[in-house]
């Protein structure tokens, strides 16, 4: 369970998220909304990458500000820009790095890395320099490196933006199959039809909180109304 209690977010004088309280217990939650509406900020609050300006964020009772390390282990985060996530020179090292930090036995690390690379169609890239991969390949690497850790929750910030159709389907299938709870920020509305709950952000507020059948048309109308007004 992810709980926001009277949370708001400011950067200097700029209020990016107005105060809100919310509990997320669904396994598939999507976050949609205009550019700059606060989606990535909301996502970063969940795993403690950002601490809220007011209020508290809890994941299974752990406070993201006070129990930051435990929260990071519990909540994996896939960044909007995969360059932020690449740590090691080679693809296979990058995927193995989090498991090595946990000091797992070598054989187990190798088995988990092999499985994840096979699962995401990355086997042929395993000895390639990570920073030379294409944008979409880097995105798949970032996703592999998070999922190999088997966190209880995974937050995805626009995981499909850079991907071709095949990889988009891979990621959509991976998220659909994941036993974990996923919170997915996306502009890809097609992708959200199976989700249980959709939050629509607009100028730092959650303006709709509903299943996709209601939230997606709401968002389309919101965007159409604004475009008409320009």
**In this structure, are residues 63 and 41 in contact, taking their beta carbons and an 8 Å threshold?**
no
Query: How many residues interact with Mg ion (rule CB under 5 A)?
Result: 1
40 contributes a contact to Mg ion by CB under 5 A: yes
What is the chain's length? 230
37 contributes a contact to Mg ion by CB under 5 A: no
The owner of tokens 């209880």 is 152
41 contributes a contact to Mg ion by CB under 5 A: no
16 contributes a contact to ligand ATP by CB under 6 A: yes
160 contributes a contact to ligand ATP by CB under 6 A: no
**CA 22 – CA 90 distance, rounded (Å):** 40
Which segment (32-40, 83-91, 166-174, 210-218) binds Mg ion by CB under 5 A? Answer: 32-40
For Mg ion, the closer of residues 91 and 206 by Cβ is 206
Which segment (36-44, 63-71, 144-152, 215-223) binds ligand ATP by CB under 6 A? Answer: 36-44
**CA 203 – CA 79 distance, rounded (Å):** 21
For Mg ion, the closer of residues 33 and 98 by Cβ is 33
Q: Cα–Cα distances in Å, from 70 out to 59, 60, 64, 67?
A: 10, 11, 8, 6
For ligand ATP, the closer of residues 41 and 47 by Cβ is 41
Question: What SS3 state is found at 127?
Answer: coil
Radius of gyration of the chain measured on its C-alpha atoms: 18
Give the nearest distance from C-beta 157 to Mg ion in angstroms.
6
Give the nearest distance from C-beta 45 to ligand ATP in angstroms.
10
Q: Cα–Cα distances in Å, from 20 out to 40, 52, 102?
A: 16, 11, 35
């Amino acid at each position: 369970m992810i709980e926001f209690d009277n949370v708001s977010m400011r950067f200097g004088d700029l209020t990016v998220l107005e105060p809100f309280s919310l509990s997320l217990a669904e396994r598939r939650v999507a976050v949609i909304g205009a550019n700059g509406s606060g989606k990535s900020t909301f996502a970063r609050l969940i795993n403690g990458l950002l601490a809220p300006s007011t209020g508290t964020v809890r994941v299974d009772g752990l406070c993201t500000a006070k129990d930051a390390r435990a929260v990071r282990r519990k909540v994996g985060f896939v960044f909007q820009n995969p360059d932020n996530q690449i740590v090691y020179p080679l693809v296979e090292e990058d995927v193995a790095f989090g498991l090595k930090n946990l000091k797992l036995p070598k054989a187990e690390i190798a088995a988990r890395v092999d499985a994840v690379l096979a699962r995401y169609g990355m086997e042929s890239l395993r000895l390639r320099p990570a920073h030379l991969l294409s944008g979409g390949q880097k995105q798949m690497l970032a996703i592999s490196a998070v999922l190999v850790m088997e966190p209880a929750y995974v937050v995805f910030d626009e995981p499909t933006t850079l991907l071709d159709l095949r990889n988009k389907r891979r990621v959509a299938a991976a998220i659909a199959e994941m036993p974990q709870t996923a919170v997915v920020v996306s502009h890809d509305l097609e992708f959200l039809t199976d989700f249980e709950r959709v939050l629509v952000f607009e100028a730092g507020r959650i303006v709709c909180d509903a299943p996709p059948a209601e939230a997606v048309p709401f968002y389309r109308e919101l965007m159409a109304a604004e475009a008409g007004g320009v």
